[in-house]
Amino acid sequence: MTSEMDVERLTDWLWCLRTPIVQAYAVRQGEGFNLIDTSTPGNERAILEALGGGVTIHDIVLTHGHDDHIGSAAKLVEHTRARVLAPAGEVGFIQGEEAMPPPQFLEWEKPLFERVNPNVPKAPPVHVDVALEEGAMLDWDRPAVVVSAPGHTPGSTALLFEEEKVLVAGDAIASHEGEPMLGVFNSDPPLAVQSFRRLAELDVEVACFGHGDPVRSDARAKLARVAAQHSRSDESVEQP
């Protein structure tokens, strides 16, 4: 199965790989790439073609163990021998050794989940070569710092490109009509809110997510506005 893969070059080094369901990201590394997430299962060829075909994939970072993020990782490793890095708290889920805790749905999320979930096939497990801890530094052409953002899943993690002021947040954050919002379908919603607040304190200009368009400018201020709404009352935050 191959779905359409739309490529958007957010910068000369960061590309967004979009299907109708989810976004993964490619980060330039020499003549090749590193990947952040791998879309739904069956997209390995679409991803490689989108990057130019025959390219080297050095590292694949999985932000968390959901099927729409780890989906094509196992096949990509087969094709490219890439190294897989993932948050220590997600390794058991990603390797298929532990069951992912289910989302604690807010009422408005239930119909959305019922609409989206049947379109996400189950991902094959993939071996994780490197377990990532908070603060770990990825020694890429553009170095990235591992920032823990649990709550969406127990070990959800974001990557911060400090120098470039770019955050790739996995599903800890999403966006709707250009505005950031708390990611949906969280296993621990209060913890997800705490993580959102932490991420909103980072000095970032651009923020990228698994779901919803990237915020291309002034991301810190936009995230801070949403974080402040959550501070007033977690229940009052409007749904998209």
Q: Which CB atom, from 88 or from 120, has the smaller least distance to Zn ion?
A: 120
Min dist CB 69 to Zn ion, Å, is 6
Q: Which CB atom, from 55 or from 120, has the smaller least distance to Zn ion?
A: 120
Q: Which CB atom, from 66 or from 230, has the smaller least distance to Zn ion?
A: 66
- Write the interaction track for Zn ion spanning residues 31-70; mark x where CB under 5 A is met and - where it is not: -----------------------------------x----
Q: Which CB atom, from 32 or from 151, has the smaller least distance to Zn ion?
A: 151
The answer to whether residues 145 and 135 touch, using CB atoms and an 8 Å cutoff, is yes
Tokens 């989810």 identify what position?
A: 22
How many chain residues touch Zn ion (CB under 5 A)?
2
Tokens of 122: 């189950």
Task: Pick out residues in 98-157 that bind Zn ion (CB under 5 A).
Answer: none
Question: 101: number of CA atoms within 13 Å, CB side?
Answer: 16
Provide the H-helix boundaries in 138-210: 189-199
Query: Distance between terminal CA atoms of the chain?
Result: 31
Which range in 163-171, 174-182, 193-201, 213-221 contacts Zn ion by CB under 5 A? 163-171
Min dist CB 139 to Zn ion, Å, is 26
Which range in 3-11, 118-126, 166-174, 222-230 contacts Zn ion by CB under 5 A? 166-174
**Helix, strand and coil percent figures for the chain, each rounded to 5:** 25, 25, 50
Min dist CB 163 to Zn ion, Å, is 27
**Nearest by Cα to 170 from 50, 39, 33:** 39
Q: Which CB atom, from 57 or from 192, has the smaller least distance to Zn ion?
A: 192
SS3 (DSSP) at 89 = helix
* C-alpha Rg value of the chain to the nearest Å: 16
Instruction: For residues 174 and 186, give the distance between their C-alpha atoms in angstroms, rounded to a whole number.
Output: 12
Indicate whether 171 belongs to the interface with Zn ion (CB under 5 A).
yes
Q: Which residues bind Zn ion (CB under 5 A)?
A: 66, 171
